[in-house]
Structure 1
């Protein structure tokens, strides 16, 4: 990192000449490094105080060729990146002004946010003594914050998935049909009897595989007799 040196004219003659030789040597070295590192054509002409011939780098012949090539470039491109001392200082001042304005805006924004925070908690002392301009800035900041909050809410609602439909029914949801297959169709008792089936076979096939007690079996038999008695088919 370079040192912070105050740029000002050196009034002492011997000191000024020593600094000139030292800085001229450093300038020539930087020009040579720039030419090697960037593969660029560089030349330096420095007119010392009290001398008619300038100090030339790298040599007078090479410097003349580089200057002639520079003059052959159209003026629009030639002056595109050219800057004198006045232009450099003006550009630097404008950049510093932009930084100052940015810092001032950040400070005002922080003060307004702090004032709004205190006001929301019931401390209204900060609003006392504000002029019209300051109140306008506070109102503008409030509008911007409300607009930002509204946009964020809309964005959150737009990204949220829609709620699943809920249908209230009187039956219990047993899942999808493939999970609960229907039992195989069995031939009815009347069809078996009418087709000549044996009663003992029917009783054994319908109830022997089930875990029923004797009383349950008798009730099922009585129910079968009642059904058979009401059947239009004649008894076997």
Structure 2
């Protein structure tokens, strides 16, 4: 049976508060003992109760003093190896988020360029800005294809002549048919 979520707030009834404190204190000390046994570590717990002059100590006062003094006299390098200030944490988190944002930006740009390439392959026209964006990506794709062909066939790909670009008389059917017949 699952427990209900307990609201973390001050318990006004003193007898209920005392009983809850004792139960949770005992549970905390049991868990500290289990942690020490399961992980072969030394753990101690100090709990200051409401109105108590001395804390409740686990496992014993002498063992807790030994554990705390061993920690206190540890070199700073070992003692604070994994600790960081709030500023260091925020700088690290910002750096990770910036790297993630750059990765998403690169993926988005790559997707947009592939859409433009697809548009051009279907016969759509690209403006100068779009051509400038597509050019470097197209070169990378062609280089990767050449590398794959080389890897699969174990010989370099044969150089194929590029088609000449027609810059004048684009709409004139007679000039394109003349050029096409000249190529044949």
TM-score (norm 2): 0.52
Aligned to 2:77: 76
Q: Deviations over 1:177-206 (max 9, x none)?
A: xxxxxxxxxxxxxxxxxxxxxxxxxxxxxx
Consecutive unaligned residues in structure 2, runs of 5 or more = 157-184
Q: How does 1:92-111 map to 2 (within 5 A)?
A: 97=94, 100-101=97-98, 103-111=100-108
**Rg comparison, structure with higher value:** 1
Aligned to 1:117: 114
Aligned to 1:39: 40
Q: CA deviation at 1:63?
A: 0.8
- RMSD of aligned C-alpha atoms? 4.5
Q: Greater relative contact order: 1 or 2 (C-alpha under 8 angstroms, separation 6 or more)?
A: 2
Q: Do 2:113 and 2:137's aligned partners in 1 also have CA atoms closer than 8 Å? A: no
SS, match of residue 53 in structure 1: coil
Q: CA deviation at 1:147?
A: 3.7
In structure 2, the CA distance between the partners of 1:104 and 1:79, relative to structure 1 (3 Å rule), is: closer
Consecutive unaligned residues in structure 1, runs of 5 or more = 128-134, 164-236
The whole-number CA distance in structure 2 between the counterparts of 1:124 and 1:66 is 72
Q: Deviations over 1:91-136 (max 9, x none)?
A: 4x667656644553454344323322332213869x8xxxxxxx9x
Q: How does 1:37-186 map to 2 (within 5 A)?
A: 37-81=38-82, 83=83, 87=85, 91=89, 97=94, 100-101=97-98, 103-120=100-117, 121=119, 122=124, 139=133, 143=136, 146-147=139-140, 149-150=142-143, 153-154=146-147, 156-157=149-150, 160-162=153-155
The whole-number CA distance in structure 2 between the counterparts of 1:25 and 1:69 is 25
In structure 2, the CA distance between the partners of 1:76 and 1:115, relative to structure 1 (3 Å rule), is: closer
The whole-number CA distance in structure 2 between the counterparts of 1:89 and 1:46 is 30
Q: Do 1:46 and 1:55's aligned partners in 2 also have CA atoms closer than 8 Å? A: yes
Q: CA deviation at 1:52?
A: 3.4
TM-score (norm 1): 0.43
Q: Do 1:10 and 1:16's aligned partners in 2 also have CA atoms closer than 8 Å? A: no
Give the total of aligned pairs.
144
Q: Do 1:28 and 1:44's aligned partners in 2 also have CA atoms closer than 8 Å? A: yes
Q: Deviations over 1:8-50 (max 9, x none)?
A: 9624444766654444333222211111112111111123344
